[in-house]
Each structure stands twice: as C-alpha cells, then as structure tokens.
Amino acid sequence: MEKKLKEDSTSSTAKIKQAAHKLFLQNGYGSTSIREIAESAGTNIALLNYHFGSKQNLFEVVILEKIQMLLGRLAPIFSDEHTSLDQKIVAMVDTYIDFLLEDPDLLTFVLNEIRKNNFEFIAKTRLGEMVHQSYFMKQLKAATGAANSLQLLINIVSMMVYPFMARPVLIQTGLTDQDEFHQMMLERKKMIPVWVRSMLKSDVS
C-alpha cells in the first residue's frame, strides 16, 4: 500500500511538472496560473500546492531540472583530462545543440524570464563555478591566453544559441520551417568546430 501511494505521488508530481513546463513555455511565467497547471495535469490546486508550495517553487523546480540535465551532460566533457580541447569543443557543441533541439522553445523562454529578473535562483546551479574551474577552461586559456578565453567561449555559445533565439523569426518570415531548422542545426554541429578551429588558429598566429 505504501509503495502504491509513493508511485501515485511520483506520477502526480511528474504530470504537474510536465504540465507546468508546457504552459510556462507557451504562455510565460506571469501569464500561467496555478489553476491552469492543475487542470492541465488533471489534478487540483490543493495537491499542487502540497507537492510544490507555490507557483514560484514549481517554476524553479521545473527550470532547475532542465538546467541540471544540461549540466549533467556537459560536466563530464568539461572535466575530462584525457581529451583534447578540440575533442571537448566537438562534444560540447554536439551535446548542447542536441539538448536545445529536444526543447527548442526553452531558450527563448529562459531569456525572456531573465529579462524580467525572474532567474535570481540560477546561482543555485553553480554554472559559472563549474565552467571556470573546469579542465576545459584550463585548455582554452592555454590555447588563447586568459584574456581571450572568455571571448572565445562567448563566441562558441553564441553560435549555438543564437539560431534558437532567432528561430521564431526565421520560421515566421518563411526563411525556414520546423524540419529545415532542425536539419540546419544538425549541420551546424559539424560547422561550429570548424569555425572555432579557424578562430584558434587566427588567435595563435
């Protein structure tokens, strides 16, 4: 009986988080109500509040889980002392773009919420600490110099994330469609490491 109750509780929280994720991305945090989330999850407000306490707590749980999922994939790449910088860049680009293709609206939503100062809890992820202290950053600094390593990292990240930021405009203007965008990003996974190699060569020479 206790096991059944635990399974029901796990299933209920999973449905709530799934519904919240969909509605947050679709409508934004401010325009999504607890009632809408509860109805979409097939539950009631009381049970939602019992599991998560508030909409803000639910929001943090949903987004932090997504961020931790990404960090969980990137951390082994960044910390590997047996792979070259080039191998790390290839793996990072491949992993990051695949993650965004799984949830292409997530990035736009996150950036909109950051603009509204609704991401103060992002410090909990310790993202900056993970990147700054990683073996990847040591290799990047060795290849570019400490002053240029952050510039290059920003360039790499920008090449991965900007197409997802521009995706709504690209689709609405007819420059691409959903399937073409997906294929374009798969091709971009191969192209970005080539561009980075060119930047590194230019920086060293």
Chain segment 186-205, per-residue pLDDT in tens: 999 999 999 999 988 876 54
8 CB-near residues (< 8 Å, 6+ apart): none
Residues 142/135, Cβ–Cβ less than 8 Å: no
Q: What is the pLDDT averaged over residues 47-66?
A: 90
Residue 83 or 146, more confident: 83
Q: What is the DSSP track for 80-135?
A: -TTS-HHHHHHHHHHHHHHHHHHSTTHHHHHHHHHHTT--GGGGGG-HHHHHHTSH
Chain segment 161-195, per-residue pLDDT in tens: 999 999 989 999 999 999 999 999 999 999 999 99
Chain segment 76-135, per-residue pLDDT in tens: 999 999 999 999 999 999 999 999 999 988 888 888 887 777 667 676 667 778 888 899
To the nearest 10 degrees (0 to 180), the angle between helices 106-115 and 2-27 is 70
Q: Please, what sign has the CA dihedral across residues 151, 121, 119, 75? A: positive
For residue 59, pLDDT beyond 80: yes
Looking at residue 124, what is its pLDDT? 66
Backbone angles phi, psi at 186, to 5 degrees: -65, -40
Chain segment 6-30, per-residue pLDDT in tens: 444 577 899 999 999 999 988 888 8
* pTM for the structure as a whole: 0.83
The Cα–Cα gap between 139 and 85 comes to 6
List of domains in the chain: 1-53 (1.10.10.60), 63-204 (1.10.357)
